[in-house]
Amino acid sequence: MFDILILFVSCYNVFGNAYYSSFGMPAILWLNVFDYFVEFLFFIDLVCCFVEEYTDEETYTDVSEVKLIAMHYLKGSFTFDLLAIIPFSEFFPQSAKPPSRLWRLVKLLRIKRLSKLQESGKFKEII
C-alpha cells in the first residue's frame, strides 16, 4: 500500500518540481505544507528501503538478511534517493545565480524510483 502511495506522490513530485523550477513556488500555504509532507514521505521511503527484501539477480532468491539488503541499497539507488531529499533550494538565497528554484530539478532523480515502482510486482497485483 505504501508503494502505491509513493508511486502517486512521485508522479506529483516529478511534475510539480519541474513546474516550480520553471515558474517558482506558489505563495499558497497549504501547497507548501503538502510539499513538505511529500518530502517527509520520501524520507520514510528512504529509511524503509534499508529493510525491504529484494530478489537476487543471479540466484532469483529473496534476500531477507538486513545487512545484505542495506549493502544492496547503498550500492544501488541510495545516492539518488539521498540527493533527492536534500533541500538544496533552502540552502541558497532566492537572489542567487542561478536561481535557487533550479535546485528543485535535482529532485527529478526520483524518476528512477518511479520506474522501479511501476515495474514492481506489487503494483501489477493491485491493478
Helix (H) or strand (E) run with residue 113 in it: helix 111-119
How confident is the model over 15-54, as pLDDT tens digits? 888 888 788 777 889 988 998 899 899 899 889 888 888 8
For residues 98 and 32, the model is more confident at: 32
Averaged confidence pLDDT in the chain: 80
Domain segments of the chain as ranges: 2-126
Local confidence band at 119 (pLDDT 50, 70, 90 cut-offs): low
Q: Taking the model in full, what pTM does it have?
A: 0.75
Q: Dihedrals φ, ψ of 54, to 5°? A: -140, 165
